[in-house]
Amino acid sequence: MAKEVQLKSKKRITKDHWTAIAFLIPSFILILVFVYGFIGWTGYVSVSNYNSLIPDFSFAGLKNYIYLFNDFRFQADLRNTLFFTILFIGLVIVIGMGLAILIDQKLKGEAIFRNIFLFPMALSFIVTGVVWQWLLNPSTGFNQFLSVFGIQPKWYTDTNILAGFEWGSIEFGLPVAIIAVVIAAVWQMTGFSLAMYLAGLRGIPDELREAARMDGASEFQVYRKVVLPMLMPITMSVIIIMAHISLKIFDLIYAMTGSGANFVTDVPGVYMFETTFRGNYYANGAAIAIIMLLLVAVFIVPYLWNSRKGEQ
């Protein structure tokens, strides 16, 4: 079998192939240099002593990484990223799927709802950030309305850490302020997961549900036992896409809250930008970039591995 395939492919390296290769080479070279070359360069800088405007490429070992992991701000960044990612992905999945199931009930004006929920996705995170910065500003925005009920959340200026305990030099727990950022991010990205789940739901043949109902399954059981399992691949894709957005997030935070008091809303992306371009700590900045790359890789690599296996 394998031999046959090989023979076939050998035969097929013809003109067709060479043209395809010729057209791929320019973009291949560009990506090799401008993506992988620069990743390599960033890695090289991250283990150098290049921490001022004077280039110094002497080998520093893991000094910059050790510095970061001992740094209050970076520890806070990792904590914030963790909780932001969990809340963000969880809510995007739950709300997105919920809305998709509601819209899928063949209601009238379905297209209108679909579009309304999808629109925020057309905005840039900067716009979302600026708008939500005003909406969740504790002295204006929602609080004007909430004061009727006598509640005044401090939103992104809240410096409390829920269920916090000392860990390293930071207090580990859920930073209340990050919830405000999660709200903005979920508002923007839910439309995307809604669209994906809606496509997924449409892909499930009605016969399957009918069959389940015939077997006496309640409506809840139909969703629990038939629909949800069939939506698993969609959920996987949503998780991957949302995870790489949330792990790399910069623009939303930068426009909406900045680092926040006591770094409660700081993320590695913002730290990287500030330490590199304000403090001229190029090697530290490069180290942050590499750590972010590894974090994303933790999600992406198993996924790619899995889908490759699936194809085979």
Partner 1 sequence: MKKLYGFLLFAALVLVLAACSSDSSGESDAEDSGDSEGSASGQVEIFSWWTGAGEEDGLLALIDLFEEKHPDIAVENAAVAGGAGTNAKAVLATRMQGNDPPSTFQVHGGEELNKSWVAADKMEPLNDLYEENEWMDKFPEELIDLVSNDGNIYSVPVNIHRGNVIFYNMKVFEENGIEVPTTFDEFFTAADKLQEAGITPLALGDKESWTATQIFENVLLGVLGPDDYNKLFAGEIGWDDERVVEAAEIFGKMLDYVNEDHASRNWQDSGQLVANGEVAMLNMGDWAKGYFANDLDLKTNKDFGYFAFPGTEGSFQIITDTFGLPKGVENVEDVEKFLTVLGSVEGQDAFNPLKGSIPARVDADPEKYDQYGKDTMEDFKNSRLVPSLAHGSAASEGFLTKANQAVNIFVTQRDVDNFIQALQNAAPEM
Contacts with partner 1, residue ranges (CB under 8 A): 19, 23, 26, 51-55, 72-73, 133, 137-139, 154-157, 159, 257-263, 274-275, 277-281
Which amino acid would we find at residue 299? F
Query: Cβ 164 to partner 1, closest distance in Å?
Result: 13
Please, which residue, 53 or 163, has the CB nearer to partner 1? 53
Q: Among residues 279 and 302, whose Cβ is nearest to partner 1?
A: 279
| Minimum distance from residue 8 beta carbon to partner 1 (Å) | 22
CA distance 243 to 89: 7
Closest CB to partner 1 among 180 and 243?
180
- Which C-beta is closer to partner 1: that of 159 or that of 237? 159
Tokens of 147: 């004061």
Q: Determine contact, residues 161/287, Cβ cutoff 8 Å.
A: no
Half-sphere exposure of residue 96, counting CA atoms within 13 Å on the CB side?
31
Q: Which element (helix H / strand E) includes 305?
A: helix 282-311
CB of 157 to partner 1, least distance (A): 4
3-state secondary structure of 249: coil
Residue pair 212/226 in contact (Cβ under 8 Å)? The answer is: yes
Q: What is the DSSP string of 130-189?
A: HHHHHHT-TTSHHHHHHGGGT----GGG---EEEEEEETTEEEEEEHHHHHHHHHHHHHH
Smallest separation, CB 136 to partner 1 (Å): 9
What is the CB-side half-sphere exposure of residue 246 using CA atoms within 13 A? 32
CB of 147 to partner 1, least distance (A): 14
Q: Give the number of other Cβ atoms within 10 Å of residue 57's Cβ.
A: 12
Nearest to 50 by CA among 41, 294, 250: 41
Find the shortest distance in angstroms from Cβ 32 to partner 1: 17
Q: Which is nearer to partner 1, 193 or 275 (CB)?
A: 275
Q: What are phi and psi of 189, to 5 degrees?
A: -100, -10
Nearer to partner 1, 137 or 237 (CB): 137
- Comparison of 190 and 259: residue with beta carbon closer to partner 1: 259
Q: How far is the CB of 122 from partner 1 (least distance, A)?
A: 23
